[in-house]
Amino acid sequence: MTPHRFRAVDIETLSQVFQRVSQLQNNRLYAVMPIAASGIVLRQHELPQLPPTKMLLMQDTKRLLPVEVYKNWVESEIKLDKIVQGGAEIEITVE
């Protein structure tokens, strides 16, 4: 959901990426549900709650920093006694 958090552009962000990767827990089962995008990302800086007018201004092609859509989600996790490997996707409809 957040590839920008694992993208290094200099030594400082490389160190941050290593720290994030080492903190990942592999004995948990995660359920993640994406929800509507509500902001943008400038490199590693998340701006999740921007008004639509500001989002349009920040996404101007004349800007030097690359802009990505901020993908929001809801996450739940269950701690397990075993190491979890792999993943699965299921589609649900909420009415």
64 pLDDT more than 70: no
pTM: 0.54
Interval 3-22 mean pLDDT: 84
- Cα 75 from Cα 57, distance rounded (Å): 30
62 pLDDT more than 70: yes
The residues near 71 (Cβ < 8 Å, ≥ 6 apart) are 1, 2, 34, 37
